[in-house]
């Protein structure tokens, strides 16, 4: 019987990152796109443009695992895809190094160093802040990075066979299939096409003249792209989250081409350009030591596998030219483009592995090694290889530990428990709406409520998805001619005679209200007409709130988590000022004290209230 060789280091390159990710995994819904992806995955629906069909289909089987809630299971899917991308780093690194000259004459020791370099590169990638952040909750980019690694591996394998006189175009066909399939994860995969094209052309430029092979490669790409048929097929079933309602070809193209996002050109100065370029930042991800190892890897590969260096540099230039040069992100959205560079960081990690191997090669040449390689020599190799990944893990662990991050979950549940039966609450922004969608749609909380997302009131498909509110509404005929403010006022006027109407904090401060007056109830606001008798804020709801991570401060604070904490602080401040104004000073001062504890940046506003009402805040 033929013996099966199991690569233990390849297994560890997958399992060790996965174990660390599970320790730091978010236990439930988080902010940004999380609630939307969770809802779309659980219902096999459609996420925001361009839909992400492959990610939804990949994550769906994880919802069947009997462990934790649905959000935790889907977060686990992303942790697994991040671990797969680390395995991709190991496979690519060891493949490239096996094409290099052996380190020493001792085959066993040389093979060990190759595998250690691959394992160290995989762990270095796994502990970078960007990948680690994406592994903790639902994101499609780690899976895209893994497919990127597989495509590079297939093309390099094809190249080696071709150089040995063995043409195997099937490797190219599988690569084009995977490239088309990866479009179902994110469209930035097209930015890697020039790099892959050069890998093929630099090995065999005559392939461009072979029409049959080009036609087959294109056909395989289209077969992979056909995963997008998921969107119209699922749209016909009216799933819980059906973004874009891609039943028709026109709606599919609207969805796929991202037509729902406004395109407003804006000027760009040198500072903004530098900020956009710095979104790809190897030293920030791998430290300056890692960046130096990337340069060492590029230098060493230039002498032996020049096509790999050219492909990497072309990929970097293409990404920066399109993402920074063409997209021209606004200053407050530049951080969102950082996720797009995940495949480039994977390739950078591979170069770090190559750099580590070659640094050790230089060290071996400078010292006299004993004839017998005992455990001390192997131990020194391990220490040298794992200094970088161990440092990255130690530095980034605290900031990426989300195992106690319930802020988005509590923010959404607190909002829902503030609302009376059969209420309508208008929301604003992804982080304000998406956690509510998850809790109501997947965990079945407060299904009596309707939670319209105000920025979506301009889309017919969205109005059709909420018949309890918009069936028979004038907005369905007038939406295209109205501003968002006007659309919201129109719908509020139609609803207020029939149902309690509320809005969240972000809507309160994003819409200009004239005929309607918001009345505070915790972190949400009841809406009343200006002609109606005044209503008093309800402060009793604060006692029912769950504030995990608000006062004790979690290690992990992304932009929207910080905003949510600030909303709590502002809510307590507003309630405290109201209580003081009606003579309930002790309760009011307690509210202001909580506001300061939650958000120290509100201290100036609190001092103004103290001066306005006289006295000092009791301690």
Q: What is the pLDDT of residues 262-287, one digit of tens each?
A: 666 778 888 888 888 899 999 999 99
CA distances from 173 to 88, 145, 176, 483, 556 (A): 19, 19, 5, 49, 43
Give me the mean pLDDT over the 56-75 stretch. 94
Q: How far apart are CA 48 and CA 440, in angstroms?
A: 18
- Give mean pLDDT, residues 433-457: 92
Higher pLDDT, 141 or 139: 141
For residue 331, what pLDDT is reported?
82
User: How many angstroms separate the CA atoms of 253 and 50, rounded?
Assistant: 9
Rounded Cα–Cα distance for residues 241 and 338 (Å): 27
Q: Which two tokens stand for residue 477?
A: 């005929």
pLDDT value at residue 496: 87
Average pLDDT (564-580) is 89
Question: What single string gives the DSSP state of each residue in 150-187?
Answer: HHHHHHHHHHHHHHTT---THHHHHHHHHHHHHTTT-G
Q: Tell me how far CA of residue 50 lies from CA of 53, 57, 261, 442, 505, in angstroms.
A: 8, 14, 11, 22, 29
**Chain position carrying tokens 């000092």:** 616
Least confident interval from 52-61, 354-363, 425-434, 532-541:
532-541
pLDDT score of 47 more than 70: yes
CB atoms within 10 A of CB 402: 26
Long-range pairs for 521-528 at CB < 8 Å and ≥24 separation? 521/418, 522/414, 522/415, 522/418, 522/571, 523/411, 523/414, 523/415, 523/418, 523/567, 523/568, 523/571, 524/415, 524/418, 524/419, 524/425, 526/500, 526/501, 526/502, 527/492, 527/496, 527/501, 527/502, 527/503
The 10s digit of each residue's pLDDT in 116-135 is 999 999 999 999 999 999 99
Q: Over 70: is that where the pLDDT of 2 sits?
A: no
Pull the structure tokens for residue 152: 């590079």
Residue 542, both tokens = 């604060």
pLDDT band at 553 (very low <50, low <70, confident <90, very high): low
CA-closest candidate to residue 113, choices 364, 292, 306: 364
Whether pLDDT at 578 is above 60: yes
- pLDDT for the residue 382: 81
Q: Could you report the per-residue pLDDT of 484-539, keeping only the tens digit for each?
A: 778 888 888 888 888 999 999 988 888 877 788 888 999 999 988 877 776 778 88
Indicate the DSSP class of residue 326: I
Report which of 201, 96, 184 is spatially closest to residue 147, judged by C-alpha positions. Answer: 184
The residue-averaged pLDDT of 209-218 equals: 90
Give pLDDT, residue 488: 83
> In this prediction, what percent of the chain has a pLDDT beyond 70?
95
pLDDT of residue 618: 57
Is a pLDDT exceeding 60 seen at residue 617? no
Closest CA to 406 of 22, 72, 28, 21: 28
Contact 26, 78 (CB under 8 A): no
Mean pLDDT in residue range 45-62: 94
Contact by Cβ (8 Å): 90, 149: no
CA 479 to chain centre: 32
Q: Does the structure show a pLDDT above 70 at 257?
A: yes
Whether 40 has a pLDDT exceeding 60, the answer reads yes
Distance CA 20, CA 122 (A): 13
- Residue 231: predicted pLDDT: 95
Q: Which whole number is the average pLDDT over 305-320?
A: 94
Q: Of 552 and 168, which is predicted with more confidence?
A: 168
Query: Mind listing the pLDDT tens digit for each residue in 349-374?
Result: 999 999 999 988 887 776 666 656 66
Q: What is the DSSP string of 242-275?
A: BTT-TTSHHHHHHHHTTTTS--------HHHHHH
pLDDT tens per residue, range 287-308? 999 999 999 999 999 988 999 9
Sign of CA dihedral 173, 179, 183, 188: negative
What per-residue confidence (pLDDT) applies to 165? Answer: 84
Residues sharing a CB contact under 8 Å with residue 378, sequence separation 6 or more, in sequence order: 109, 112
Q: How far apart are CA 65 and CA 85, in angstroms?
A: 22
Neighbours of 387 (CB within 10 A): 13
Using CA atoms, how far residue 110 sits from 157, 345, 354, 379, in Å, is: 21, 26, 13, 14
Stated as kind and residue range, the H or E segment containing 475 is: helix 475-478
**In angstroms, how far is CA 279 from the centroid of its own chain?**
14
User: Residue 572, CB half-sphere, CA atoms under 13 Å: how many?
Assistant: 27
- Cα separation, 600 vs 597, in Å, equals 6
CA distance 61 to 59: 6
- Residue 619: is its pLDDT beyond 60? no
Range 245-253 average pLDDT: 92
Tell me the C-alpha distance between 40 and 48, whole Å.
9
Please give the pLDDT value at position 28: 92
pLDDT at 52 over 80: yes
DSSP state of 240: S
Distance separating alpha carbons of residues 14 and 63, to the nearest angstrom: 21
Q: What CA–CA distance (Å, rounded) separates 208 from 210?
A: 6
pLDDT tens column, 324-335? 888 888 887 888
């Amino acid at each position: 019987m033929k013996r099966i060789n199991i690569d233990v280091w390849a297994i560890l390159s997958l399992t060790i990152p996965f174990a660390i990710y599970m320790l730091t995994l978010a236990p439930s819904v988080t902010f940004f796109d999380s609630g939307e992806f969770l809802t779309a995955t659980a219902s096999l629906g459609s996420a925001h443009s361009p839909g992400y069909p492959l990610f939804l289909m990949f994550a769906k089987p994880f919802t069947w695992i009997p462990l934790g809630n649905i959000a935790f299971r889907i977060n686990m899917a992303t942790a697994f895809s991040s671990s797969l991308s680390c395995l991709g780093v190991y496979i690519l690194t060891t493949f490239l190094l096996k094409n290099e000259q052996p380190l020493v004459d001792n085959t066993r020791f040389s093979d060990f160093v190759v595998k250690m370099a691959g394992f160290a590169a995989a762990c270095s990638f796994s502990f970078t802040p960007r990948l680690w952040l994406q592994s903790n909750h639902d994101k499609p980019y780690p899976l895209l990075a893994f497919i990127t690694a597989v495509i590079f591996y297939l093309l390099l394998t094809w190249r080696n066979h071709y150089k040995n006189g063995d043409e195997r175009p099937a490797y190219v066909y599988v690569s084009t299939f995977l490239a088309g399939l990866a479009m179902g994860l994110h469209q930035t995969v097209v930015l890697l096409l020039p790099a892959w094209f050069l890998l093929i052309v630099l090995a065999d430029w005559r392939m461009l003249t072979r029409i049959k092979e080009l036609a087959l490669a294109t056909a395989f790409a289209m077969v992979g792209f056909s995963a997008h048929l998921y969107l119209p097929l699922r749209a016909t079933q009216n799933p819980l989250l059906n973004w874009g309602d891609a039943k028709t070809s026109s709606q599919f193209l609207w969805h796929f081409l991202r037509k729902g996002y406004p395109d407003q050109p804006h000027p760009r100065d040198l500072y903004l350009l530098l900020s956009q370029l710095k979104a790809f930042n190897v030293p920030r991800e791998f430290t300056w030591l890692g960046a130096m190892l990337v340069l060492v890897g590029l230098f060493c590969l230039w002498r032996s596998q020049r096509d790999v260096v050219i492909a990497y540099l072309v990929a970097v230039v293409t990404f920066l030219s399109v993402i920074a040069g063409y997209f021209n992100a606004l200053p407050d959205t530049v951080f969102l483009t950082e996720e797009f560079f995940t495949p480039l960081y994977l390739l950078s990690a591979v170069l770090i592995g190559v750099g580590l191997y070659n640094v050790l090669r230089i060290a071996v040449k400078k010292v006299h090694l004993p004839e017998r390689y005992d455990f001390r020599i192997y131990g020194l190799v391990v220490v040298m290889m794992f200094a970088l990944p161990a440092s990255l893990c130690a530095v980034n662990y605290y900031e990426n530990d989300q195992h106690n991050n319930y802020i988005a979950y509590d923010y959404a549940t607190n909002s829902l428990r503030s609302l009376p039966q059969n209420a309508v609450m208008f929301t604003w922004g992804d982080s304000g709406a998406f956690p509510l969608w998850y809790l109501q749609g997947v965990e079945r909380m407060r299904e009596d409520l309707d939670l319209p997302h105000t920025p979506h009131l301009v889309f017919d498909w969205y109005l059709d998805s909420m018949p309890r509110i918009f069936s028979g509404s004038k907005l369905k005929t007038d939406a295209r001619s109205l501003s968002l403010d006007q659309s919201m006022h129109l719908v509020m006027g139609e609803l207020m005679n029939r149902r309690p109407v509320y809005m969240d904090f972000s809507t309160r401060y994003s819409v200009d209200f004239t005929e309607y007056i918001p009345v505070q109830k915790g972190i949400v606001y009841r809406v009343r007409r200006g002609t109606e008798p005044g209503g008093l804020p309800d402060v009793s709801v604060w006692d029912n709130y769950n504030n995990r991570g608000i006062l004790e401060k979690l290690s992990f604070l992304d932009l929207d988590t910080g905003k949510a904490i600030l909303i709590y602080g502002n809510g307590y401040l507003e309630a405290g000022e109201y209580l003081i104004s009606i003579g309930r000073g002790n309760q009011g001062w307690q509210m202001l004290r909580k506001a300061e504890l939650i958000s120290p940046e509100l201290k100036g506003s609190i001092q103004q209230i103290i001066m306005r009402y006289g006295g000092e805040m009791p301690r």
